[in-house]
Amino acid sequence: MKYYVLFGPPGAGKGTQAGAMVERYNLCHLSTGELLRSEIAAGTALGQQAKSLIEAGNLVPDEVVEGMIEAKFRSTKGVDGFLLDGFPRTIAQAQVLDKMLDASGEDVTACISIMIPDQLIHERIAHRATIEGRADDARPEIVENRIQTYHAKTEPLIDFYRKAGKYEEIDGMGSIDDVRTRIFNTMDKF
C-alpha cells in the first residue's frame, strides 16, 4: 500500500492535481475537509462531535481528524494506496500518522510538495475567489493570514519529510499539464 502526503501552500494546485493522481495510481483521496463533511452528513459519532465543534466556531481537534483518517485506512478496499490532502499539517500530526502506519507495518511513501511563490498564491486565490465565489478567498488580509499560517505551522513539515528521505518538491509554475507531468514523473519512481 502506498501513502502519499500532498503538500503545498494554498493555491498551489493541490485540488487541481489530486484527481489525476488518484486516477492514475488507483489511490483513495483523503481530503480532511471532505472527510469532515461526509462524517457530518452520515451522522456518525465523529461527525456529530465535529459538527458541534464547528457550529460553536471551534477547530476540530487533531484526535477527531486522526480518528476519521484511521477509520478510512481500515475501511477502504480496492485501492493501491492513499493520497492525504490537508493532513498532516503539523509535525505532531505527522508523528501520529507515522505511528498509525507503523502499527500495521506501513509507512509514508512520499510527501509530494507542489511549491509556488507567495505572490502567485495571492494571484491564484484571488482568481479562484472570483470564479468560485469564495468570500473567504476575496479578502487580501485573510489570504495573507493563511499564507503566514502555512509558513509558520505547516512548512516545518518540509524538514520533517526531508530528514526522513521522503520529500519530493514539484515546481508548481507553468501549465496544469506541465505540473502534472512533473508530479507523475516523480510518483512513477515509487
Annotated domain spans of the chain? 2-187
Cα(188)–Cα(190) distance, rounded to whole angstroms? 5
Q: Mind listing the pLDDT tens digit for each residue in 119-172?
A: 888 888 877 777 777 666 667 777 787 788 888 888 899 999 999 999 999 999
Looking at residue 131, what is its pLDDT?
Answer: 78
What amino acid occupies position 140?
P
Q: Mind listing the pLDDT tens digit for each residue in 46-77?
A: 888 888 877 776 777 888 889 889 989 999 99
What amino acid occupies position 125?
I
Q: Is 146 a catalytic residue?
A: yes
Cα(137)–Cα(23) distance, rounded to whole angstroms? 28
Higher pLDDT residue, 143 or 17? 17
Looking at residue 137, what is its pLDDT?
Answer: 63
Catalytic member of 2, 14, 72, 139: 14
**In the predicted model, what is the mean pLDDT of residues 9-18?**
89
- DSSP code at position 169: E
Query: Does 106 have pLDDT greater than 80?
Result: yes
Write the CATH number of the domain with boundaries 2-187.
3.40.50.300
Q: Is 74 a catalytic residue?
A: no
Catalytic member of 2, 51, 72, 89: 89
Cα-Cα-Cα-Cα dihedral sign, residues 45, 75, 58, 95: positive
Catalytic member of 2, 37, 72, 146: 146
Q: Is 14 a catalytic residue?
A: yes
Predicted model pTM: 0.85
Catalytic member of 2, 37, 72, 128: 128
- Closest by CA position to 84, among listed 167, 2, 155, 5: 5
Catalytic member of 99, 134, 139, 153: 134
Cα(11)–Cα(128) distance, rounded to whole angstroms? 8
Q: Mind listing the pLDDT tens digit for each residue in 20-48?
A: 999 999 999 998 878 888 888 899 888 88
